[in-house]
């Protein structure tokens, strides 16, 4: 422990925002960006610097920047005329080079003391917390269409927390040791996995990309990180921060690539030892099947970790605090345009409360401002991520317009002239199994089902059986017996279960995140257990007493 404290103290010497002992690691405070604050000023400046700019982002393989001819652009979702990044896709050859480069660094990195590895992540967190905070926020806002607060809780707070808490957990894990006896000492050695890890990240959280690649690296693994095409700008900033913090160049290879080309190449390598994925169910299933098909080839059984989609519910009981339920729904369903895996997309309301809740929802809905989050800080959410998402979501609205059991209560307009804008949309369904209330949409669309007040038990079972997912869900009720009953019935319906709170906003170390069923492997990033997925422990027994004979006493 002493040694750990000493190393950490050195890492943060002279920095105002330092953490000097593992016990002191705390959640990063969320800044408010009020008028006149220094953080607001810094953010304005960083946004200004990105205006009209296109950053060039290469593949980084073997520590070198590499360009291929397959050049692509990342567009700003709310102003698609602005190309925020120019990057290129790695081809199969380059991906294979990246695998070799990673493998060449593996032994040395894995043998590095965990204190040294952890120190890099503490330092990266300090850099993100201080000098690079505004830059990474601005890149997340412009590139992924986030508002100030959504960028702050993601690219600053969550990412910093991931790095610090994972490092803390990795250091504490060293003390999770075995029983030693007078004749022998037993030790668990927390090794990295043998081979390389493929980290595949989604567009919607800058923090997730950093964690998918960062957590395995912290545990002594080498990683091929394929960032999302629509989060390139912020992902590259995270990568550069890790290098700046001292991550050796070959530990994480940064390789933008076509999804299937990347997936086919990594699952085809005998050295694949793990996939750390966050994204949609079809992509994860495809990767899992490819691993199964290639099973004979691998040197070790690859570990598969995948956090996927959701169809998250808010259940309102007649005893609920109506105001809290309404505000929770507005935030959860519409913040970041419903593009959080945890966003509420189905709402169950008792008929007795519906007139009040409907009136309040429509009243608040009218106040929601959708627009350019960089120019106008009073914007509540912005455009959806790209033209594909725009068309998909518009398709759902068309479906709502034509389906006899659905009626659009608010919103429903889409416009992609300047950016991929979709209005916050509230739909009522008379059919509780309509596909709009069971399939993931991933946009600003909320579907409401109104149930007879005295049938709430049936509705709990309905919620449990409506969708294939099990990610997040919330129960709003003041009646304690209803909360207990709902917790029992919905035990498997949500990996993150909220009581009188909205279904979004999980905080590292407070609500580790993930769900089962079709929502993924529920490895709970943000929790202490998560890093165990990225270590392959070796049990070492050292005997201090020589063996003097091979026969046993009872044999004599």
259 binds ligand NAD (CB under 6 A): yes
Query: Pick from 256, 320, 263, 323: which is nearest to 293 by CA?
Result: 263
* Contacts of residue 436, Cβ cutoff 8 Å, sequence gap at least 6: 396, 399, 400, 403, 406, 427, 429, 445, 447
**Closest residue to ligand NAD using C-beta atoms:** 263
Which residue, 209 or 220, is less far from ligand NAD as judged by CB? 209
520 binds ligand NAD (CB under 6 A): yes
Stretch binding ligand NAD (CB under 6 A), from 15-23, 245-253, 258-266, 425-433: 258-266
Burial 16-43 (b: 16+ CB within 10 A, else e): eebbbebeebeebeebebeeeeebbebb
Tokens of 3: 């040694």
Under rule CB under 6 A, which residues in 214-253 are in contact with ligand NAD?
226, 228-229
72 binds ligand NAD (CB under 6 A): no
- At 305, is the secondary structure helix, strand, or coil? strand
286 binds ligand NAD (CB under 6 A): yes
At its nearest, how many Å lie between ligand NAD and the CB of residue 312? 9
Catalytic site residue 323? no
**Active-site residue, selected from the candidate residues 59, 273, 341, 414:** 341
Which residue, 308 or 436, is less far from ligand NAD as judged by CB? 308
> For the chain, how many residues are written?
556
Stretch binding ligand NAD (CB under 6 A), from 123-131, 246-254, 431-439, 511-519: 511-519
Q: Give dist(CA 262, CA 552) in Å, integer.
A: 57
- At 273, is the secondary structure helix, strand, or coil? strand
308 binds ligand NAD (CB under 6 A): yes
Stretch binding ligand NAD (CB under 6 A), from 65-73, 272-280, 367-375, 460-468: 272-280
**Active-site residue, selected from the candidate residues 135, 158, 307, 428:** 307
The most distant pair of C-alpha atoms in the chain lies apart, rounded to whole Å, by 92
**Alpha-carbon distance values, 320 to 76, 316, 428, 478 (Å):** 40, 6, 20, 5
Stretch binding ligand NAD (CB under 6 A), from 36-44, 70-78, 306-314, 363-371: 306-314
Stretch binding ligand NAD (CB under 6 A), from 82-90, 302-310, 415-423, 484-492: 302-310
Binds ligand NAD by CB under 6 A, chosen from 262, 334, 390, 534: 262
Binds ligand NAD by CB under 6 A, chosen from 87, 89, 165, 203: 203
Burial 53-91 (b: 16+ CB within 10 A, else e): eebebbbbbbeeeeebeeeeebbbbbbbebebbbbbbbb
Binds ligand NAD by CB under 6 A, chosen from 190, 442, 449, 456: 442
Catalytic site residue 341? yes
158 binds ligand NAD (CB under 6 A): no
User: Which of the 8 DSSP states describes residue 319?
Assistant: T
Q: Where are the alpha helices (DSSP H) in 280-406?
A: 281-293, 322-334, 354-367, 387-402
Which residue, 289 or 433, is less far from ligand NAD as judged by CB? 289
Question: With contacts defined by CB under 6 A, how many residues of the chain interact with ligand NAD?
Answer: 32
Q: Give dist(CA 374, CA 368) in Å, integer.
A: 16
* Contacts of residue 60, Cβ cutoff 8 Å, sequence gap at least 6: 66, 239, 249, 253, 254, 255
**Given the rule CB under 6 A, which residues bind ligand NAD?**
200-205, 208, 226, 228-229, 259-260, 262-263, 278-280, 283, 286-287, 307-310, 341, 440, 442, 471, 513-514, 519-520
Provide the annotated active-site residues. 307, 341
């Amino acid at each position: 422990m002493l040694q750990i404290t000493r190393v950490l103290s050195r890492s943060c010497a002279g920095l105002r925002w330092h953490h000097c002992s593992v016990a002191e690691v705390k959640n990063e405070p969320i800044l408010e960006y009020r008028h006149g604050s220094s953080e607001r000023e810094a953010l304005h400046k960083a946004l200004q610097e990105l205006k009209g700019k296109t950053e060039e982002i290469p593949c980084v393989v073997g520590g070198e920047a590499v360009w291929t001819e397959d050049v692509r652009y990342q567009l700003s979702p709310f102003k698609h005329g602005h190309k925020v990044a120019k990057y290129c896709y790695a081809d199969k050859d380059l991906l294979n080079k990246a695998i070799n480069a990673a493998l060449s660094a593996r032994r040395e990195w894995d043998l590095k003391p965990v204190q040294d590895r952890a120190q890099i992540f503490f330092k990266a967190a300090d850099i993100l917390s201080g000098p690079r905070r505004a830059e990474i926020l601005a890149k997340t806002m412009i590139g992924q269409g986030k508002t100030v607060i959504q960028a702050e809780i993601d690219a600053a707070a969550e990412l910093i927390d991931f790095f610090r808490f994972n490092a803390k957990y990795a250091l504490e894990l060293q003390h999770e040791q075995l029983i030693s006896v007078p004749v022998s000492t037993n030790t668990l050695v927390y090794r990295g996995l043998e081979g390389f890890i493929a980290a595949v990240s989604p567009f919607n959280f800058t923090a997730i990309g950093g964690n998918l690649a960062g957590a395995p690296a912290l545990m002594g693994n080498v990683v091929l990180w394929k960032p999302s095409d629509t989060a390139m700008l912020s992902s590259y900033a995270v990568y550069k921060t890790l290098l700046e913090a001292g991550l050796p160049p070959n530990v994480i290879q940064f390789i933008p690539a076509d999804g299937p080309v990347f997936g086919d190449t990594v699952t085809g390598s005998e050295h694949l030892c793990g996939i750390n994925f966050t994204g949609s169910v079809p992509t994860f299933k495809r990767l899992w099947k490819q691993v199964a098909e290639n099973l004979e080839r691998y040197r070790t059984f690859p570990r598969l970790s995948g956090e996927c989609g959701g169809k998250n519910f808010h259940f309102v009981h007649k005893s609920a605090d109506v105001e809290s339920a309404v505000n929770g729904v507005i935030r959860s369903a519409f913040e970041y345009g419903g593009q959080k895996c945890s966003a509420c997309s189905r709402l169950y309301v008792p008929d007795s409360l519906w007139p009040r809740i409907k009136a309040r929802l429509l009243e608040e809905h009218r106040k929601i401002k959708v627009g350019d989050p960089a120019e106008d800080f009073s914007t509540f959410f912005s455009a959806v991520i790209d033209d594909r998402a725009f068309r998909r979501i518009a398709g759902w609205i068309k479906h709502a317009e034509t389906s006899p059991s659905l009626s659009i209560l608010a919103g429903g307009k889409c416009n992609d002239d300047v950016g991929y804008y979709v209005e916050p949309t509230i739909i009522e369904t008379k059919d509780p199994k309509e596909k709009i209330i069971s399939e993931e949409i991933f946009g600003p669309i909320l579907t409401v089902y109104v149930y007879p007040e005295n049938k709430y038990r049936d509705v709990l079972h309905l919620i449990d059986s409506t969708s294939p997912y099990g990610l997040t869900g919330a129960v709003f009720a003041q009646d304690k017996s209803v909360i207990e009953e709902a917790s029992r019935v919905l035990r498997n319906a949500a990996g993150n279960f909220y009581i009188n709170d909205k279904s979004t906003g999980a905080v590292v170390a407070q609500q580790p995140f993930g769900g089962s069923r079709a929502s993924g492997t529920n490895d709970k990033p943000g929790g202490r257990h998560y890093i165990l997925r990225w270590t392959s422990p070796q049990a070492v027994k050292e005997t201090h007493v020589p063996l003097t004979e091979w026969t046993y006493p009872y044999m004599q």
